[in-house]
Chain A
Amino acid sequence: MFAASRCADECASKPAPDMLSELMEELGANAVDTLVIGDTVHDLQMAAHAGVQAVAVSHGAHPRGDLVALAPLACLANIDELTLWLARNA
């Protein structure tokens, strides 16, 4: 299901861009070809620090208001909304 993964034990943790930049390097993707999907402000900040666009989901650890404040492309309420959004936009 996943081509690669990074966790905080392997490189600098969020909100540093390292996990993202390492994944992009390993998989040969540019920042403009990449989209981050996350439930926390740390995910959105990591994306911003790497110059990558992001989509938030509000069913996780952080409140919707905090996520929206960081201007993700969308803030989706659940997995079904995320699936639909990705099918249409990603």
Chain B
Amino acid sequence: MRNYTLLSAELLTGRTHQIRVHLNHLGFPIAVTTNTATSSSTGDWRSRPEAHVPARGRTGVRASAFRESPETACAASRRPVALSRFAGKLMRYPLLVFDWDGTLIDSAPAIVACIQAACRDLGLTVPDEARASHVIGLGLKDALSYAIPACPRTTTAGWWSRTAGTFSRATPGSRSFREPKRCLQASKLAAHSRHRHRKEPRGPRAGAG
């Protein structure tokens, strides 16, 4: 077994022979396999493709299986292949969903300041920075019940309009929007060049904030 690598691959998409093709490309051909991937259930387990790549009905490779333990795979196989170099070829996400506040734009400090200011205005207990920033991304109800546990329900509307009002007047965050824009453009370009070859729908990006 010294020259074999036991690898667990999670099967996610419906592309034919992807595991075989990818592993072969990486220099780790599946042992004793056939094109049809059919085999007898008897005999040495190494002769059965499913012993190496447990099938789950659909084929395809999730690259994290490689990224999580490339060293193990290399050491076990004695093949000094830089698996991470190939990870991008295995893992494709046609849809990237970006959170907005805090991820693409540096609005977290301003939101925290607005939450605290609104609480001060309404005479409520002012949450500290950690508590206030924890609720960024939550809906109003969840945000309020965590940031201001003692907040009476009737105060909700006032709190929200105060926070929103303060925020709309707030100075934008310190981080420039140029960096996130570059990031989005770079990932979009990469998607385009990939999809040109693959003739698949161009990769949309989406925001969930």
Interface residues of A (CB under 8 A from B): 1-8, 12-14, 19-20, 23-24, 27-30, 32-40, 42-43, 46, 52-53, 57, 59-62, 73, 79-80, 82-83, 86-90
Please give the residue numbers on chain B whose beta carbons come within 8 Å of chain A beta carbons, in ascending order.
12-13, 60, 62-64, 67, 84, 87-88, 91-99, 101-104, 106, 108, 111-112, 133-134, 136-140, 142, 175, 179-188, 190, 201, 204-209
Give the A-B pair count, Cβ closer than 8 A: 163
Residues of A within 8 A of B188 (CB): 1
For B84, the chain A residues whose CB sits under 8 A away are 88
Contact yes or no, A43 B99, CB < 8 A: yes
How many Å lie between the Cα of A90 and that of B134 in the bound state? 28
Residues B103 and A13 in contact, CB atoms below 8 Å apart: no
Please give, as numbers and ranges, the residues of chain B lying within 8 Å of A59 by CB-CB distance.
102, 106, 175
- State the CA gap A79–B182 with chains docked (Å): 9
17 contacts between A and B (CB under 8 A): A2-B98, A12-B139, A13-B142, A33-B95, A39-B102, A39-B108, A40-B134, A40-B136, A42-B138, A43-B103, A60-B102, A61-B102, A61-B136, A62-B133, A87-B186, A89-B63, A90-B91
Q: Which chain A positions have C-beta within 8 A of B136?
A: 40, 60-62
Whether A80 and B179, one on each chain, are in contact in the complex, defined by CB atoms closer than 8 angstroms, is yes
Find chain A residues with CB under 8 A from B183 CB.
79, 82-83, 86
A40 & B102 in contact (Cβ 8 Å cutoff):
yes
Q: For A89, what are the chain B residues with a Cβ–Cβ distance below 8 Å?
A: 63, 67, 87-88, 91
Bound complex: CA A73 to CA B205 (Å): 19
CA distance A53 to B103 in the complex (A): 16
Q: Which residues in B have their C-beta under 8 angstroms from that of A37?
A: 96-99, 103
Provided the pairs A13-B139, A36-B99, A87-B190 are in contact, do residues A5 and B209 lie with their beta carbons within 8 angstroms?
Answer: yes
Q: Is the CB of B96 within 8 A of A60?
A: no
A86–B180 CB distance below 8 A: no
Which residues of A are found within 8 Å of B207, using beta-carbon distances? 2, 4-6
Separation in Å of the B121 CB from the closest CB of chain A?
Answer: 22
B13, B64, B181, B206, most chain A CB atoms within 10 A: B206
The minimal Cβ–Cβ distance linking B157 to chain A, given in whole angstroms, is 14
A5 lies within 8 A of B94 (CB):
no
Q: Which residues of A contact B112 (CB under 8 A)?
A: 61
Given contacts A35-B93, A90-B96, contact A28 B201 (CB under 8 A): yes
Q: How far is the CA of A39 from the CA of B209 in the complex (A)?
A: 11
Residues in B neighbouring A61, C-beta threshold 8 A:
101-102, 108, 111-112, 133-134, 136-137
> Which single residue of chain B is at the shortest CB-CB distance from A8?
B139
